A and B are shown apart, each in its own frame.
Chain A
């Protein structure tokens, strides 16, 4: 129910924008993300952008995960 999908804003006209989800483009209400513009990634839920995706934080999370030491790549159950 609370599914939110990250997409990139390709155009903004006031309260409304076009958001690209990997090639699929949909209209979304951008009233709650006034700071977001073309090129920004937003999390869209039921047609509304609820959060601007922080790309630095996204990279930081991945860097933390990639820094976990590797080892045997098989998990024994």
Chain B
């Protein structure tokens, strides 16, 4: 496929690996923030080919959606008047008791949509039902979710609402920079396609870390790693853009404008990490009638994590799945305890699917 296959060329990949090996004089640690990148790195074994420690970040909205929000989704989906719509990857995320897939098996009307606009379409064609869309995501997905709300408001669809769990990447990166021993970061290419990279410039300067906006194919990741290593070797701390074919410095201003209209920045709880100031989005007051949390009165639901799960440390990059006593034993992709084992982009699931096993200590 054009603009994908060219970036999977094994000959060029080998050359990039050699360049990284030649350039790195120290075992630098580099965090990739995005779960899609984690998936490629682990599946291709990129981290096993290079003398760089790849640290896997919080990288997936599925993984960081708080347990309490999943429980709210389940409470709403259980109501007979509701058609609950979601992206497919949220269906297997365990709440404190169940997941949306098992709710569907028990008779809840849970439907997977490709686009948030499909959920708006369902509200249009089912005026006697309440259609709720699970608006989850990073900055990449926020413009699509914003457009769904704008369309519903324009069409006065009183039966459409959204359960919002939108998170922002730069504040989380700043929180990680405070605690994790990471020398450089690969910023998520599609988040930056929307937002640009101006927000990262003060972070690179303040924490003295190189940040490289990076794509998702093997050659993108290897080149991003090489660019980060070169900066580290030369003592530079800049934001560079490896993914120039898709990302401009100021991002997509049309998409940003829609996000600004529909959402307001708020403090946000990240599953496994806790609350990070100004790291999330909530609906602006003028769109309150489309807020599912208010409409169904589920704002008080809270929940506790499974005690054996070390998801928080994994999402912050301070430990790896192989450090977790539950990994591969009590916790597998078929029966996940914590969020990083649920999504294919979660670090634990990526490790497990690549066949990485925990060395039992005698």
Contacts and interface: CB of A to CB of B under 8 A. Distances in A.
The interface size bin for chain B is: 35 or more
Interface string B1-40: 1111011010110111111000000000000001110000
A75 B14 contact: yes
Contacts of B3: 6, 41, 53, 58
A22 B3 CA distance: 11
B245 A57 contact: yes
B252 A32 contact: yes
Given A1-B87, A2-B188, A32 B255 contact: yes
Contacts of B6: 58, 62
Contacts of A54: 244-246
A71 B144 contact: no
Interface string A42-77: 010111101101110110111011101111011101
A24 to B, nearest CB: 10
Nearest to A41: B3
B89 interface: yes
Contacts of B246: 4, 6, 43, 51, 53-54
A14 interface: no
Contacts of B193: 4, 43, 50-51
B4 A6 contact: yes
B254 A31 contact: yes
A33 B35 contact: no
A45 B193 CA distance: 11
A22 B18 contact: no
B36 A2 contact: yes
B144 A45 contact: yes
B36 A47 contact: no
Given A1-B61, A70-B15, A45 B254 contact: no
Contacts of B7: 62
B11 A50 contact: no
B194 interface: yes
Interface string B236-257: 0000001011110000101100
A57 B245 CA distance: 5
Interface in B106-146: 114-118, 136-138, 140-141, 143-144
Contact of A50 (B62, B118, B194): B194
Nearest to A46: B144
Given A2-B34, A32-B254, A51 B244 contact: no
B223 interface: yes
Given A6-B2, A43-B193, A54-B245, A48 B15 contact: no
Contacts of A69: 15
Contacts of A60: 244
B252 A51 contact: yes
A45 B190 contact: yes
26 contacts: A1-B36, A1-B61, A1-B87, A1-B138, A2-B34, A2-B141, A2-B190, A2-B191, A8-B2, A22-B2, A29-B144, A31-B147, A33-B252, A45-B190, A46-B114, A46-B115, A46-B141, A47-B116, A50-B190, A50-B252, A51-B194, A55-B245, A58-B3, A65-B12, A69-B15, A75-B49
Shortest Cβ-Cβ A-B pairs, 9 listed: A47-B115, A58-B245, A51-B193, A57-B244, A6-B3, A2-B140, A32-B255, A68-B15, A22-B1
Interface of B: 1-4, 6-7, 9, 11-12, 14-19, 34-36, 48-49, 60-62, 87, 89, 114-118, 136-138, 140-141, 143-144, 147, 188-191, 193-194, 216, 219, 223, 242, 244-247, 252, 254-255, 258, 343, 345
